[in-house]
Amino acid sequence: MIRSVLSGFLKVYQRFFTLLGYGSCRYYPTCSEYAKWQLETNPNLFKALFMSILRILRCNQLFVGGIDYPKISANPSKDARFCDRPCTVRYWYVPDSRKKRWNVIKNIFSKGRS
Amino acid sequence: MIDNMSTQMRVIVATVLSLIVFIGYDYLFMPKVSPRTFDANSSTQVTGRDAVSSTPSTAAPAAPAADASQHIEKREAAPVSEGGLERVIATVETSNMTMEFDALGRISQVYLKDRQYRDEEGEELKLFNTPKIPKPLEIRFSDPALNELAFKTPYTVSVSSVELNGSKKRLTFRQDLDGFIVEKEIDIFPDHHYEATVRLSEPRPFYISPGVRPDLRVDGYTVHGAMVEEADGTLTIIEDGDAKGTEAFRKARIAVAFDRYYATAFYDFDKGLNVVVNKDAEENPVLFINGESGRVIHGYIGPKEHKILQAIHPELTKIIEFGWFTFIAAPMFKVLLWLHGYIPNWGWTIVALTFLIRIILYPLTYKGMVSMYKLKELAPKIKEIQAKYKGDPQKMNAHMMELYKKHKANPLGGCLPMLLQIPVFFAIYRVLLNAIELKGAEWILWIDDLSVMDPYYVLPILMGASMWAHQMVTPNNFTDPMQEKIFKWLPVIFTFFFVTFPAGLVLYWLTNNIFSIAQQLLINKMLEKNKKAE
């Protein structure tokens, strides 16, 4: 519930308010997109918020920027859902060098809801 | 186009469109009133409502007397106060104000004499324009019978007319309540502050008020109401309409009632004041302090002008209050005053402040520019990516970012600097709205008061134009046509938005835009050089 509300705010922000400072993010995905992915995948809501705030703090000229995917700790065997028919992949969990940590990459080829 | 939109999208579009219609209607058809006439209107409205709905209570604040008796008391008290007790019995003239005392020993009116405090006709401004009570220095006894008597008995005064030239002067008011003597000694200083001492022939609990707030400059942009600085320095603001009932503060340092520019306050930085905040019929806060026979009460009544307050007591400048953003706004106000020390014109001071902020942010901008140089070597690769992922902006972005990271060159500013600008803007907004120093301050040509809107709409239109120009020189690649459209309309929306803002604020925004354009042009030039070098 809280997640979807926050996610909704971010969507509104991305549509309108971002216009005031259009195209200033140094990263891919952008800070707002990063926060959205964190909110949608990280099992720990507070961690998701904390990581998103850290990301915004990192988004300035003192950091290089570039590609920076959300990293989450999760247990995919528990979180994964099995579908009995062809289902759309929304996020790819790519194993990180650390155990039980995953890089979250959104499937931008997905035709499903985004 | 509309058919392809989602429901959500349509709702948003409808909201924006209707907003535009409303603002447009307001702009084109509503009678245009200058802020001052607006003030006058609102205050007469208040008077009207006052007269109809409530006669103000004269009961002591903490005396929880039965409500019924209080109502009777009100009705009795009101006609009495109209009949003669509101007549002026003493007048004090200083170089910058005239103060009048009525027959109940209260400050009934203050006229400000300085040039910037006069209206268009050159008339002196009056701090109080409604018959609301309590008036400054009004005493209320906890004993209802005594209180009622006190509100019926006129004071006598030692001198009826005093003129201050340089030093303080004393007025002594005396009231005889069937043998119980109330004496009010008031020392008036030439700089809007005073010291009052109440002496009672026998100890009786009483309250004394710094008065209801001045109602000269009340508007929707700024906070008006009461504020208490508590013993530990915490500022508690009770806005008009938000007073909850009786609230008490022990050993408070300042109790002030204020509108946008003017204030009436009691303060004591050594021993502290025991403050009680009540509410009136409109839920506006009403301040009282616990009276103590023989103790000196320090008071201030006048404009919230930094120079005057600083001279009386540096701590007193806290009554200039900027709300949530005080932590940024207060230092910014200091910088503004410091700049003004060198630049006599307030308009140019604002321009200088904008410039100063830009200079502080320059190191970051500079880093961005250095990145631009580095991009020179990457130009062929960028072109390659752009060609390869034409029509898929998301993937193009991802690859560009990869490239930037690999070569440690990133032309974008970042979200943090952008977000940091928001509190800075709000701080400037509050400073420029609340600084009385801007009242009657001229800039150039037609701008003769930076604290009110530009009467010819020139600054807001220039502001919109500069915003549009900034968009023109800033490269962008929108992926969503709807977004792009709104982006194009932003300057227009902002122009309407800024129309009624004080000219000083619009001037800040305009200057900021012009500096942004200059900076962007510089960056663009560098990019062009890069291309040529290719």
Q: Which two tokens mark B420? A: 């940091």
pTM for the full predicted model: 0.65
Q: At what angle do helices B393-407 and B362-388 cross, to 10 degrees?
A: 130
- What does the pLDDT read at residue B51? 36
Q: Based on the fold, state whether residues B355 and B307 are members of the same structural domain.
A: no
Contact between chains at B408 and A15 (C-beta distance less than 8 A): no
Per-residue confidence band for B261, with pLDDT thresholds at 50, 70 and 90: confident
Q: Which residues of A touch B482 (CB under 8 A)?
A: 15
- What does the pLDDT read at residue B64? 36
Q: ipTM of this complex > 0.90?
A: no
Q: Based on the fold, state whether residues B279 and B344 are members of the same structural domain.
A: no
CB atoms within 10 A of CB B40: 15
Q: Which residue of A has its CA nearest to B480?
A: A15
Q: Based on the fold, state whether residues B231 and B104 are members of the same structural domain.
A: yes
Q: Do the beta carbons of residue B304 and residue B436 sit within 8 Å?
A: yes
Asked if residue B138 is part of any domain, the answer here is yes
Q: Is the pLDDT of residue A113 over 70?
A: no
**pLDDT mean over B338-342:** 85
Q: Which two tokens mark B166? A: 């340089």
Asked if residue A18 is part of any domain, the answer here is no
Q: Out of B415, B486, B490, whose CB is closest to A31?
A: B415
Q: Based on the fold, state whether residues B155 and B254 are members of the same structural domain.
A: yes
Q: Based on the fold, state whether residues B381 and B250 are members of the same structural domain.
A: no
Return the residue matching tokens 């009110």.
B452
Q: What is the rounded radius of gyration, in angstroms, for the C-alpha atoms of chain A?
A: 15
Q: Based on the fold, state whether residues B425 and B285 are members of the same structural domain.
A: no
Tell me which residue of A32, A96, A69 sits closest to B401, measured CA to CA. A69
Asked if residue B332 is part of any domain, the answer here is no
Contact between chains at A59 and B405 (C-beta distance less than 8 A): no
B410 vs B269, which has greater pLDDT? B269
Give the list of residues 6+ apart from residue B389 with CB closer than 8 angstroms, or none: B395, B396, B399
**pLDDT mean over A84-109:** 75
Q: Do the beta carbons of residue B167 and residue B155 sit within 8 Å?
A: no
Q: Is the pLDDT of residue B373 over 70?
A: no
Q: Is the pLDDT of residue B250 over 70?
A: yes
Helix residue ranges, H only, B297-361: 306-312, 326-342, 346-360
Owning domain of residue B433: 338-533
Spell out a b/e string for B279-315, using b for 16 or more CB atoms within 10 Å of the CB, else e: bbeeebbbbbbbbbbeeebbbbbbbbbbebbeebeee
Q: At what angle do helices B415-434 and B503-533 cross, to 10 degrees?
A: 150
B124 vs B66, which has greater pLDDT? B124
Contact between chains at A60 and B416 (C-beta distance less than 8 A): yes
Q: Between the CA atoms of B320, B325, B331 and B335, what dihedral angle is there, to the nearest 10 degrees?
A: -90
Q: Out of A16, A19, A61, whose CB is closest to B414?
A: A61
Asked if residue A80 is part of any domain, the answer here is yes
pLDDT tens readout for residues B176-215: 888 888 888 888 888 888 888 888 888 888 888 888 888 8
Lowest mean pLDDT, pick from A106-110, B229-233, B239-243: A106-110
Per-residue confidence band for B65, with pLDDT thresholds at 50, 70 and 90: very low
What is the rounded CA–CA span in Å between residue B429 and residue A56? 25
Asked if residue B471 is part of any domain, the answer here is yes
B487 touches chain A (CB under 8 A): yes
Per-residue confidence band for B61, with pLDDT thresholds at 50, 70 and 90: low
Q: Based on the fold, state whether residues B152 and B177 are members of the same structural domain.
A: yes
Q: Which residues of A touch B490 (CB under 8 A)?
A: 19-20
Contact between chains at B412 and A24 (C-beta distance less than 8 A): yes
| C-alpha distances out from residue A114 to A37, B9, B290, Å | 10, 15, 63
In whole numbers, what is the pLDDT of chain B averaged over residues? 75
| Last residue of one domain, picked from the residues B286, B321, B356 | B321
Asked if residue B410 is part of any domain, the answer here is yes
What is the rounded CA–CA span in Å between residue A102 and residue A81? 17
Q: Is the pLDDT of residue B8 over 70?
A: no
| Last residue of one domain, picked from the residues B321, B348, B382 | B321
Owning domain of residue A71: 2-10+23-106
Tell me which residue of B461, B469, B498, B485 sits closest to B17, measured CA to CA. B485
Lowest mean pLDDT, pick from B45-54, B93-102, B397-406, B451-460: B45-54
Q: Based on the fold, state whether residues B516 and B383 are members of the same structural domain.
A: yes
Asked if residue A54 is part of any domain, the answer here is yes
**pLDDT mean over B124-138:** 81
User: Domain count of chain A?
Assistant: 1
**pLDDT mean over B218-229:** 79
Asked if residue B11 is part of any domain, the answer here is no
Q: Which two tokens mark B244? A: 């909850």
Asked if residue B442 is part of any domain, the answer here is yes
Classify burial at B318, counting beta carbons within 10 Å of its beta carbon; exposed 0-12, middle 13-18, buried 19 or more. Answer: buried
Lowest mean pLDDT, pick from A27-36, B76-85, B303-312, B351-360: B76-85
Q: Out of A19, A26, A62, whose CB is closest to B412?
A: A26
Q: Based on the fold, state whether residues B294 and B429 are members of the same structural domain.
A: no
What is the rounded CA–CA span in Å between residue B19 and residue B14? 8
Asked if residue B101 is part of any domain, the answer here is yes
- What does the pLDDT read at residue B60? 61
Alpha carbon of B347: minimum distance to chain A alpha carbons (Å): 26
Q: Is the pLDDT of residue B42 over 80?
A: no
Per-residue confidence band for A60, with pLDDT thresholds at 50, 70 and 90: confident
CATH of the domain at B80: 2.70.98
Give the list of residues 6+ apart from residue B198 with CB closer than 8 angstroms, or none: B139, B182, B183, B184, B185, B206, B208, B291, B293, B294, B295, B297
Q: Return the number of CB contacts < 8 Å for A and B.
A: 92
Q: If interface means Cβ-Cβ distance under 8 Å, which residues of chain A face chain B?
A: 15-16, 19-28, 30-31, 56-67, 108
Q: Which residue of B has its CA nearest to A66?
A: B401
Q: Do the beta carbons of residue B287 and residue B303 sit within 8 Å?
A: no
Asked if residue A111 is part of any domain, the answer here is no
Q: Based on the fold, state whether residues B302 and B348 are members of the same structural domain.
A: no
- B352 phi-psi bin (left φ>0, alpha ψ -120 to 50, beta other): alpha
**pLDDT mean over B55-71:** 46
| Last residue of one domain, picked from the residues B269, B288, B321 | B321
Q: Do the beta carbons of residue B288 and residue B167 sit within 8 Å?
A: no
Contact between chains at B412 and A56 (C-beta distance less than 8 A): no
Q: Based on the fold, state whether residues B271 and B359 are members of the same structural domain.
A: no
Asked if residue A57 is part of any domain, the answer here is yes
User: Domain count of chain B?
Assistant: 2
Asked if residue B331 is part of any domain, the answer here is no
Q: Based on the fold, state whether residues B210 and B297 are members of the same structural domain.
A: yes
